[in-house]
Amino acid sequence: MRREIRSHICFVTGAHPKSVSRSFRRVQLCDPTRPSRRGRKRYYTPDVIVALRQVWEIGGEPCGENLHGIIKEYVQILLRDGVWKHGTEVTQKLLMMSLGTVKKRVAAFPRERFPTHGKGTTKPGAIHSLIPVRSGPWTKAPTGTVQIDTVAHCGDSVAGAFIYTVNGTDVATLWGTRRAQWNKGQEVTVMSMEAMNCAVPFPVIEWHPDSGSEFINWHCKGWCEDRGQALTRSRPSHKNDNCFVEERNGHVVRRWVGNADLTFAKPSTLSTKSMMS
């Protein structure tokens, strides 16, 4: 039986029979209390992960893609203010961390959970076939490519009329602008977009919402065409196509405004004034 096992190991690994016997003997005689040295030595030690988590928490718990681009800037600010307590080696390793490693580490961080989850109010429409789909890439998107979405402040029910936040984020600069509106009708949504278009410090060249009917309609399409601005949309059920604004729906809008039922306000008291981010 032992010879058959050794023959099979030699067949699979191509090792010499005597080498197999020596390897088994070495494992049997090793000290079980001695830590194993097998595998590559860990480069990003726990102190580097602690530094990464500090930047992640200060930045508002962003995803790995957004966090990777702001690590250097945040470290410089924390060093300037004298609150960065990590050593030189830890800082250098953190700045050298690749996007893939940042995404992997951030995915393991525990996130703050909101008391209640917002309700989705997006429904498909027939005009979807006329609006081109864009899913990326976003790394080369020019300034003025604005991802836009609505956040419902309805509590646990979408019945009746209530307040929405129209949230817009420029992909290239991460400039954010937001407006409050009563319900999500086509006309009032275009009014919010008009106010946001005037508020940003650069010309908007493209609006990129999800597949919601408040954006994907003839009124909004005509408004964009009149201004020479493109209108694209995300794929249904693919929130990552609109990742820059979807993320800020959580750590900006829902964190500071909340998901509470805001049906107490009257339409006459509402305006399209900017909500501070």
Per-residue pLDDT of the chain (277 residues; tens, 9 = 90+): 788 888 888 988 888 988 988 888 888 887 777 766 666 788 899 999 999 999 998 888 888 888 898 999 999 999 999 999 999 999 999 999 999 999 999 988 887 654 445 555 555 556 777 888 888 788 889 999 999 999 888 777 777 778 889 999 999 999 999 999 988 888 999 999 999 999 999 999 999 998 888 899 999 999 999 999 999 998 888 888 888 888 888 778 887 776 655 554 444 444 444 444 4
Q: Are 64 and 102 in contact (CB under 8 A)?
A: yes
**Structurally, how many domains does the chain consist of?**
2
Question: Are 177 and 262 found together in one domain?
Answer: yes
Residue 214 domain-assigned (yes or no):
yes
Q: Are 75 and 94 in contact (CB under 8 A)?
A: yes
Q: What is the CATH number for 192?
A: 3.30.420.10
Residue 260 corresponds to which tokens in the numbers above?
């509470």
Q: Are 71 and 55 in contact (CB under 8 A)?
A: yes
- Domain housing 75: 46-107
Output the CA–CA distances (angstroms, integers) from residue 146 to 168, 175, 193, in the order listed. 6, 9, 11
Question: Are 232 and 265 found together in one domain?
Answer: yes
Q: What is the predicted pLDDT for the residue at 98?
A: 93
Q: What is the predicted pLDDT for the residue at 270?
A: 44
Pairing of the two strands 163-170 and 176-182: antiparallel
Question: Are 156 and 72 found together in one domain?
Answer: no
Residue 89: its H or E element: helix 88-96
Q: What is the predicted pLDDT for the residue at 113?
A: 55
Residue 275 domain-assigned (yes or no):
no
Q: What is the predicted pLDDT for the residue at 272?
A: 43
Q: What is the predicted pLDDT for the residue at 251?
A: 77
Residue 15 domain-assigned (yes or no):
no
Tell me if residue 168 falls in helix, strand or coil. strand
Question: Are 102 and 131 found together in one domain?
Answer: no
Q: What is the predicted pLDDT for the residue at 265?
A: 45
Question: Are 81 and 211 found together in one domain?
Answer: no
Cβ neighbour number for residue 70 with a 10 Å cutoff: 16
Q: Are 127 and 216 in contact (CB under 8 A)?
A: yes
Q: What is the predicted pLDDT for the residue at 102?
A: 92
Residue 32 domain-assigned (yes or no):
no
pTM over 0.75: no
